[in-house]
Amino acid sequence: MTSRPLCNLLCALSAALVLLTAPTARAAPDTMPATVAAALDRAELPRDAMVALVQEVGSDHARLAWRADQPVNPASMTKLLTTFASLELLGPAWHWTTPVWLQGIVRHGVLEGDLVIKGSGDPTLVVERAWLMLRRVQQLGVRRIQGDIVLDRSAFDVPERSPADFDGEALRPYNVRADALMLNYKALVLTFTPDAARGTATVAADMPLAGVRIDATVPLGSGPCGDWRRALRADFSDPTKVRFAGTFAGACAQKVWPVAYADPQHYNERALLGLWRELGGHISGVVRDGTAPATPPTFEVNSPPLAEVIRDINKYSNNVMAQQLFLTLGLTQRGAGTPDAARAVLRQWAARKLGANAELTLDNGSGLSRETRVSARLLARLLQVAWASPWMPELMSSLPVSGTDGTLEHSDAVPGRAHLKTGSLRGVAGVAGYVLADSGRRYVVVAIVNHDHASAARPAFEALEQWAANDDDAAISPLRPSPSN
């Protein structure tokens, strides 16, 4: 008969052997990885400011579910919904078409009539493609337009608002209002190139805006590069003049500054006149809004395929492009390029594909909103559905790659092994996407912080990505209140 002390020892050894040979335990839904909790504590962020979910692709089981059903503001992670729904509803090869009419007879280089351009929402009509469109007009023999350039912008019906309405930053390019004929994001890209020999920096603008004068040079200053934009003391208050009362630090290399044009309503007019004249063209009339004819167009300008466009949207979190795509969904699926129609399309799609009507409060397609609400579980479900979709490669390749490109170019977590859409607003930060683990498994990872100091949460997100990549469920801490600050 075995003595009780010996029995206790043998039982303890048997239990230890079972633990050593058993598979790694899964993290319980009410736990948080210790490294993530520590990162939040260092950032002085309460743990209940975060929602998170980690789940192997193709699995219904969550490795981690931290307040995963709590609705939060996702910021730019809303673009995952907009872009994936667009891939499913339109297809990766779909493209925007901008028709152009020479409405009149061309004689001896003169168009005796109007040049008509009809916008359909194409977000890729940047300066190069607008130049090519007008170059095509010249290839058809037109050097002078005897009439007007007529712009049909009726495809979108967007409420009037000030660019400063969202956050008071009227000159930020992300605040540009959607337009059926969106030329060059209605922005100026200013390039400053220092010339030490002359003691100045040259200033160049990508889009020649008719009637707008921009200082050609700015003096070089001493000191470090630092906050070079502030040092320029730029004045954008007059839409016809861009002036610099300060200096450009001589320690700076070439710098680029994208700025939303101060008079967006007249941007298209100034841009088309500027480009047409730069090409050597002449016009007797004006640039004005109007209606395109019902006849077939003279030619059409096609955008790159949707799969390429969503790479720019997601890699660089381009709000203007996302809003153009959002309204395009309303136009193509409901016949109305309005925010209400676009919201209805996305809600219907989400209910059908994700079964998630009650979990989604949607304002717009870019995430530039204080009203949008979504749960971590819903975003994870979207990523799971995307993984099983024929369009998974297109969506995944559009996401920033950690330590490699886009908004994750400078991320220190799992270089090259995380494809994650980032999101940030004042009081909001997060990531959502896929992480490849050491084991070869791939995980859906969603983490969002809503808090006044959410910008400090990046190390916590990187700790979560690393934890997922390590396949390590042992280093967890039980749910408990955050320590007092």
What digits encode the pLDDT tens for the residues 383-437? 999 999 999 999 999 999 999 999 999 998 899 999 999 999 999 999 999 999 9
Split at pLDDT 50, 70, 90, the class of 30 is low
Express as a percent the part of the chain with pLDDT over 70: 90
Asked if pLDDT for residue 17 goes beyond 60, the answer is no
| pLDDT over 60 at 186, yes or no | yes
pLDDT in tens, 108-135: 999 999 999 999 999 999 999 999 999 9
Q: What is the pTM of this model?
A: 0.90
Predicted confidence (pLDDT) at residue 255 exceeds the cutoff of 70: yes
57-61, 126-130, 403-407, 477-481: range with lowest mean pLDDT: 477-481
pLDDT at res. 473: 57
Confidence of residue 483 (pLDDT cuts 50, 70, 90): very low
What domains can you pick out in the chain, each with its CATH number? 27-93+306-478 (3.40.710.10), 97-164+265-302 (3.50.80.20), 173-264 (no CATH)
Mean pLDDT of 35-56: 97
**What is the mean pLDDT of the segment spanning 51-79?**
96
pLDDT by residue (tens digit) across 264-285?
999 999 999 999 999 999 999 9
* Whole-number percent of the chain with pLDDT over 90: 86
What does the pLDDT read at residue 18?
A: 33
Q: 343 phi and psi, to 5 degrees?
A: -60, -40
